[in-house]
Each structure stands twice: as structure tokens, then as C-alpha cells.
Amino acid sequence: MEIIIATGNAGKVREFKRMLEPLGYTVFSQKEKGISVDVEETGGTFAENALIKARAVWEQAHTAVIADDSGLCVDALDGRPGVYSARYAGEPCDDKKNNEKLLKAMDGVENRAAQFVSVICYIDPQGKDHYFRGECPGEVGFEEKGDGGFGYDPLFMVG
């Protein structure tokens, strides 16, 4: 079965391919399928934003589509950056600037508890949407570590 990943984020496409191709799915990015959509993530929840992205691609392809919206929800920041994680430091989106802003916001904060939240919207070939939510508890580190990740990976420590 063919599935299109509704994102322009190459890191996410790699992760979905790594997970789904061994299960027998043929996975394409929207770019590989020649689909160019520029959607505004205007939803107030991860599920709403995932649906907005998935539906925009499904409307062009009429085949199975997966989109996600995910972000880091920090307890001490009342859940921020949350649905604004990708653009926390403003446009254009920049992982390094987002991490720097988060470190600044957490300066002197003892409670560093956070959750990485991801909601996947899968639209089947018939156009019905299905949702899957996962949360990974952890905490915000004091400095960036590691390499090969993207987003808040250098700061988020699984707990």
C-alpha cells in the first residue's frame, strides 16, 4: 500500500520511511509525489493541525496520507511551546533559534519536566480520518547534546 507523508520536513519523512517500509508500505514524501501545498497550521491542538496538513494532501492525491503535529510541552512554561514548537522563535522556522529561546525561558527554572507529544492523523484512501496520540515524558536539559536529531532533540532528555 502506498502512503504519502504530508510534510516538508525531511527528518520526519526519513523517520516514517524507517518505521513503515519494513512493514511493507511504500512511503513517499509529498514532494516525491509532486504535491505542493502550503498550509497554515491554524489549529489550537496537535490533532487539528495534523488534520489540516493531511486533508490538504489527501484532497490532491486521494490516497492514504499521514500527517503529524508534534511538539514539546514544558510544564514550567504552561505547556509552551506546544503547538507552536516549530515556530517558537518566530518565522522562518529554525531549530537552533527555537532551542536557544527555550534555554533562555528555562534559565533558573528547577522544574524541567516536559513531554514530547505527537498526534498522527491518518486519512485512509476513502477519506476517513483516524488519530493516534503518543506522549513521551522527560525533561529539558541545560545545554544541547548529541547530533543527528532535529527539532528539540538536542535538549529533550527522555525520563
Distance CA 34, CA 6 (A): 12
Catalytic residue list contains 69? yes
Decide if 73 contacts 82 (C-beta within 8 A). Answer: yes
Listed in order, strand segments (DSSP E) in the chain are 2-5, 26-29, 64-74, 113-123, 129-140, 156-158
- Among residues 38, 68, 69, 124, the one annotated as catalytic is 69
Q: How buried is residue 48: exposed, middle or buried, by Cβ count under 10 Å (0-12/13-18/19+)?
A: middle
Only one residue has cell 533558573, namely 108
Using DSSP's 3-state secondary structure scheme, residue 21 falls into: helix
The total number of residues written for the chain in this structure: 159
Query: What is the set of active-site residues?
Result: 69
